[in-house]
Structure 1
Amino acid sequence: MTLEKESLKLLLEGLEQLEIGFQGLPKVEHTANLDALRIVLLEVAERMQNNYPYHHPLYIGQIIKPPTEIARLAYTLSLWINPNNHALDGGKASSAMEKEAVAEIAKIFGWDLHLGHLSSGGTMANLEGLWIARTLVPNKKVVASNQSHYTHQRICSALGIPFQAIPCDSRARMDVSSLKKILEEEDIGTVIVNIGTTATGAVDPLPDILELQAEYGFRIHADAAYGGYFTLVDNLDAETRTIFDCLKEVDSIVVDPHKHGLQPYGCGCIIFKDPSIGKIYKRDASYTYFSSNELHLGEISFECSRPGASAVALWATQRLLPLTSSGKFATDLSKGRKAALLLFERIQKDSRFIVASPPELDIVVWAPKAKNASEISLRSKEIFRESALQNLHLAMAELPRELFADTAPEINWDVKYITCLRSCLIKPEHLDWIDRIWNILDLVTNKVLTSYKTNVSV
């Protein structure tokens, strides 16, 4: 598969159009040493070959999605200006584009009124959400499921907020009865709800948690960094659809455009339902915020200097691919989910494998069958290595016995966790590549399991 290059022809045209806006300035001579540039650029290209093929459909490992063509072009075009979206002085046009792009994201969750901005990624976005929570409900514990991203506990430690993990059910979702028990025992300030966990893509039962919120009065922060955009697709199961429809009721949402939003790293987003949250951020500085009475994004952002290029790329992407349930953006997203369902169905029907629960979004988790949990882990690692040799790149995840209680009760748990195989069917092309993916997986699995049989017989 060749890397897409045809769109590069538009970059020069875009630069010429950009230059028209500054033609009244005195001319500055600039020459580039193309020979020197070429040597270093080709060296960079050679060094970058030492990567997994993230752009290719046979890469189904981590949650890595290549930026769309318009995002690459718009991001690169903006670098000739290199705007900084901290203050309007450094990023006038790109700041306006950021506000418009974030408003469009907020709208998919049902929020017209909101306060939000882009960030360098989901970690910083979650940090801001929990910092605001600490300010509004000080000295109160934050809880999240034990399948939540590790960043939440790390952030709480950095912010000095007490944190506790809540057990999960067999579907890797927060166990509501366990949550209720701790709510009865302690004064909880914030509950983090996962809208797509990193390991399995599990979606926490938000409707049940909202009922508890009405009784106990905690804040709800939704970590939808990975799964947020799935609110646009038409092929979620009914229960998951209901959860997404309730997102408008939470207090804050994190979503990462650099995951399913087709953007380069790093581009996260934090949105608050209540715009008055801005007063918590408000700080004056003697050296900035002086060129306009309009909102400077640095006034509502934990980070200061931030790349305006991220906003330009996101705005351009959403201009070309609007965030509507009937558009190409949503259709492509639904293809990835359909591919995950098809792969899961084949794995589930195959007697060589055990599975966790069906995918709620586009992550599939499974493992080769064996008597003991430790042996399952060894076989998973072998399949992972052998698949890579066949150019099929998977991922792995360590998961507890609770996730297999319903689907594989016969396992002898000689260790607490098993290493599973994990795949993110994140690209729309994966739908057309399922047969090829399965054929390689089938071949590799036979090879690995045959070797185990041979070793046992010897």
Structure 2
Amino acid sequence: MKLERESIELLLKALEKLEDGFDLPEVRHDFDHKKMEEVIIAAAERMQNNYPYFHPLFAGQMLKPPHPIAKAAYMMAMWINPNNHAMDGSKASSPMEKEVVSDLAKMFGWSQHLGHLTGGGTMANLEALWVAGNIHPDKTIVASDQAHYTHERISEVLKLKFSKVATDESGRIEISALEEKLKGGNVGTVVCTMGTTGLGSVDPLKEVLELQEKYSFRIHADAAYGGYFRLLDNLEPETIEKYAHLDSVDSIVIDPHKQGLQPYGCGCILFKNPEVAQCYIHDSPYTYFTSDDLHLGEISLECSRAGASAVGLWATHQLMPPIKNGTFAKDLAKSRNAALKFFNKLYYSDHFFPLLKPETDIVVWGIEGKKTSEMSDQATAFFKKAEKNKLYLSLYKYPTSKIKNSKFAIDSEYLTCLRSSLMKPEHDNWLEEIWTRMLASI
């Protein structure tokens, strides 16, 4: 079945159980069901104009299908449509959100924390930098030149000073360049990217922590894409060590809608020190009365938030807890295996070459050639031909200044490469089919 539909049966059973919980007079709605059917079929026809994001042959951008349990639970919750801003509008889903946020905090080794779900990584990172700015209002936010572009944009929105630090040829923050910044004495927060969205590279967190002892600054870990890799044992030893130190940072962002099998949008912000709640203190004349417990809206910049996101993530955690050696971790390990197998195929190929060994499940590679300008043109042409062969990839511009010991002439500022996010567990079994279509696209 091209599109998984068994979750519809789960949804119908769940809706029956949900309805049993309300002993209320029936409300009749006068809907035009024939017109609704026409509209929904028209919408389905419009949605056909999409790439097949759900299929393993979509091996390009960072798009991972939600798990059937997440889809069914999310849709079931939409019949209630809770708002997880306050307990008044989310009596059941707010406690579920607190449970899943606690699960994620424990995954990083935190028994105490402050945090909540967000609409995505951008909002989660905004809250992290907003708190950082409250603690160090006149100091600079520092991130690598491979960090997500939103950090610079968020800093501009918050009127915070921002500075980029160079990265090495693998896309990781250069410790020597970072220390030069720190010597100036005006750095308040360093952003460590625990899995860049371009190359999948992980910043050297241990070394940054050593600099923190010397220069005293906050560390924010942007693990929106890569946070779940902390559960894996099939990473490189040095990468495992980087993730092992995440319990020592000040704040973490992780996006369950990236690797956590959730629908958009589901991000999460976590703070190690619960006392940062002081930054959020505000009053509302009508909102926080249903419970004396802390309402999620009292520790969030967002107001209305979809409680369905919490329900979908809660159901997923019940089925597949985010723990080492569990079903979730084993499925994620398949994506990592796929990336390593793909790397080996590229390495021994006569037509392609891997840019670097993948650190997570993102693989970037180039087309063999004599000079970078021609190789870039060939990569763009290959990308288009692969799409005609129903293999969906993405492109990535790599600075040629970082290329060392090349066998080709460098005559352009960037080398356009191909990029694959092998995020689906099924990619592990589909590599031969992917490779066949690649060879047919040369």
What TM-score do you get using the length of structure 1 for normalisation? 0.95
**Deviation of the 1:54 alpha carbon:** 0.3
Q: Counterpart in 2 of 1:166?
A: 165
Q: Counterpart in 2 of 1:127?
A: 126
Q: Secondary structure at the match of 1:246?
A: helix
**Deviation of the 1:380 alpha carbon:** 0.7
Q: Counterpart in 1 of 2:380?
A: 381
Quote the Cα distance in structure 1 between the aligned partners of 2:10 and 2:140: 52
Quote the Cα distance in structure 1 between the aligned partners of 2:236 and 2:213: 26
After alignment, is 254-263 or 365-374 more displaced?
365-374
Q: Counterpart in 2 of 1:455?
A: none
Alignment of 1:349-428 (within 5 A): 349-405=348-404, 409-428=406-425
After alignment, is 323-332 or 395-404 more displaced?
395-404
Structure 2 contact 401–413 (Cα < 8 Å) conserved: no
Q: Counterpart in 2 of 1:29?
A: 28
Q: Counterpart in 2 of 1:451?
A: none
The percent identity for this pair of structures is 52
1:220 counterpart = 2:211 = no
Structure 1 contact 143–192 (Cα < 8 Å) conserved: yes
In structure 1, give the amino acid aligned to 2:238: E
Structure 1 contact 172–403 (Cα < 8 Å) conserved: no
1:251 counterpart = 2:245 = no
Structure 2 contact 170–201 (Cα < 8 Å) conserved: yes
1:322 counterpart = 2:321 = yes
Q: Counterpart in 1 of 2:7?
A: 7
**Deviation of the 1:92 alpha carbon:** 1.1
Q: Secondary structure at the match of 2:188?
A: strand
Q: Secondary structure at the match of 2:347?
A: helix
1:250-270 Cα shifts (integer Å, max 9, x gaps): 000000000000000000000
Q: Secondary structure at the match of 2:441?
A: helix
Alignment of 1:228-243 (within 5 A): 228-243=227-242
Alignment RMSD (CA, Å): 1.1
Q: Counterpart in 2 of 1:44?
A: 43
In structure 2, give the amino acid aligned to 1:2: K
| Uncovered stretches (5+) of structure 1, i.e. residues with no partner | 446-458
Quote the Cα distance in structure 1 between the aligned partners of 2:144 and 2:375: 25
Q: Secondary structure at the match of 1:101?
A: helix
1:3-54 Cα shifts (integer Å, max 9, x gaps): 111221122211111111112x222223543211211111111000000000
Structure 2 contact 93–308 (Cα < 8 Å) conserved: yes
In structure 2, give the amino acid aligned to 1:115: L
Quote the Cα distance in structure 1 between the aligned partners of 2:19 and 2:343: 51
Q: Secondary structure at the match of 1:365?
A: strand
Structure 1 contact 321–327 (Cα < 8 Å) conserved: yes
Q: Counterpart in 1 of 2:428?
A: 431
**Deviation of the 1:403 alpha carbon:** 4.2
In structure 1, give the amino acid aligned to 2:436: N
Structure 1 contact 396–422 (Cα < 8 Å) conserved: yes
Q: Counterpart in 2 of 1:16?
A: 16
In structure 2, give the amino acid aligned to 1:113: Q
Quote the Cα distance in structure 2 between the aligned partners of 1:238 and 1:232: 13
Quote the Cα distance in structure 1 between the aligned partners of 2:388 and 2:243: 39
Structure 1 contact 357–403 (Cα < 8 Å) conserved: no
After alignment, is 218-227 or 12-21 more displaced?
12-21
Structure 1 contact 169–402 (Cα < 8 Å) conserved: no
Q: Counterpart in 1 of 2:274?
A: 275
What TM-score do you get using the length of structure 2 for normalisation? 0.98
Quote the Cα distance in structure 2 between the aligned partners of 1:121 and 1:201: 19
**Deviation of the 1:374 alpha carbon:** 1.3
Q: Counterpart in 2 of 1:137?
A: 136
Structure 1 contact 355–404 (Cα < 8 Å) conserved: no
Quote the Cα distance in structure 2 between the aligned partners of 1:345 and 1:396: 20
Quote the Cα distance in structure 1 between the aligned partners of 2:228 and 2:170: 21
Quote the Cα distance in structure 1 between the aligned partners of 2:2 and 2:439: 26
